[in-house]
Amino acid sequence: MASLKEIKGRIGSVKGTLKITSAMKLVASAKLRKAQQAVQAMTPYEERLHGILSALMTDYAAKVARGVLTPSAGPADAFTAPRPAVRRVALVAVSSNSSLCGGFNANVVRELFAAIRAWEESGAEVTVIPVGRKVADAVRKVGFPVSDPRLKLSERPTYDGAAALADELTDGYLDGRFDRVECIWNHFVSTATQQVRREAFLPLAGLPGADGTAVSGSPAALRGDYIVEPSTVEEVRLLLPKVLKINIYTLLLDSSAAEHAARTVAMQTATDNGEDLLADLTLEYNKGRQQKITSEILDLVGGSFDR
């Protein structure tokens, strides 16, 4: 059995740790609120921008169906047309720069390694583009070459940083350095739940009429409330890069919110476990003191009888 001095030292150590975990929980909670507000503020803008682009693509498809435009003039083909063979893949993995956030980073790393194995087995050359120190360190440990981990972009996402990353990915795709670009990150569902997502960034999917095919519906209803100047084709060409940049920015904000949520839960769990340990140590310390006092009293009583 540990001595009272040792137990007292452990109690002091646990109390000091509890102060740290409690403070980290408060900080993570405050950052989580700000991150949630940023995501909530960006989501309507992203949805509206996607809606406008979809309406323009629908209008374009209707014009193709009427013979006004030819499919060869498709403004989105460079971004939406899948490559006949995927030989070069870029994987963008988003993690945090620090630990103490539960399985947040481990889940992303696990999904990243699974994606790497799957693409390499298919014969594709994989390029990892990390955003965050933890995923970069994990990839380096297995001897995989990685680029700049973009620490600032992981810690505090900005639109300018996201736009620069989107431009880099888009240029690589259009230049033929990548045949496909995928993103892996933690999606914020709630404070207690984060889901790892792996989605294609390029080629861009989900746009109506992106391949120039006709869509159902009357031509009058397809145009919506938009008056397009100078032309549908030009507007689509202008909006597509903006949509890609917004996609990356929203993804980074989503990952940031998930990180702070995971850290909040991890620090709350650590605090709860610390308090349980503190209660057990305090009980053990009090029992030891009581036993020591009882022994001293028995010694005194025994000594008086010996007289």
Enter the tokens of residue 116: 């790497």
Residues with Cβ within 8 Å of 299's Cβ and at least 6 positions away in sequence, in order, are none
Could you tell me how far CA 227 lies from the centroid of its own chain?
A: 37
Q: Does domain 30-264 have CATH number 3.30.750.24?
A: no
Residue 74: what pLDDT?
A: 62
22: amino acid identity, one letter: S
Query: Which of 98, 26, 35, 44 minimizes the C-alpha distance to 257?
Result: 35
C-alpha 69/C-alpha 284 separation (Å) is 83
Query: Could you read off the pLDDT of 10-42 as tens digits, one per residue?
Result: 999 999 999 999 999 999 999 999 999 999 999
Give percent of the chain above pLDDT 70: 89
Residue 301: what pLDDT?
A: 73
76: amino acid identity, one letter: A
Question: 190's torsion region: left (phi>0), alpha (psi -120 to 50) or beta?
Answer: beta
Which member of 38, 93, 101, 165 is catalytic? Answer: 101
Could you tell me how far CA 293 lies from the centroid of its own chain?
A: 56
Q: CB–CB of 102/262 below 8 Å?
A: yes
3-state secondary structure 185-221: EEEEEECCEEEEEEEEEECCCCCCCCCCCCCCCCHHH
Number of helices (H), then strands (E), in the chain: 8, 4
C-alpha 228/C-alpha 276 separation (Å) is 65
Enter the tokens of residue 264: 């909040």
Across the chain, mean pLDDT equals: 86
Query: Could you read off the pLDDT of 140-187 as tens digits, one per residue?
Result: 999 888 878 899 999 999 999 999 999 999 999 999 999 999 999 999
Per-domain boundaries in the chain: 30-264
Residue 254: what pLDDT?
A: 96
pLDDT at residue 305 greater than cutoff 60:
no
pTM greater than 0.75 (yes/no): yes
Query: Could you read off the pLDDT of 229-281 as tens digits, one per residue?
Result: 787 778 888 889 999 999 999 999 999 999 999 999 999 999 999 999 999 99
C-alpha 270/C-alpha 266 separation (Å) is 6
- Residue 293 — pLDDT band, cuts 50, 70, 90? confident
Mean pLDDT of 111-134: 95
Mean pLDDT of 70-92: 80
Burial (Cβ within 10 Å: 0-12, 13-18, ≥19) of residue 240: buried
The residue ranking higher by pLDDT, 270 or 70, is 270
Residue 101 among the catalytic residues: yes
C-alpha 278/C-alpha 10 separation (Å) is 9
- Residue 63 — pLDDT band, cuts 50, 70, 90? confident
Query: Could you read off the pLDDT of 180-213 as tens digits, one per residue?
Result: 999 999 999 999 999 999 999 999 876 654 444 4
Residue 148: what pLDDT?
A: 84
Enter the tokens of residue 243: 């949509």
Give percent of the chain above pLDDT 90: 60
pLDDT at residue 77 greater than cutoff 70:
yes
Q: How many residues does the chain have?
A: 307
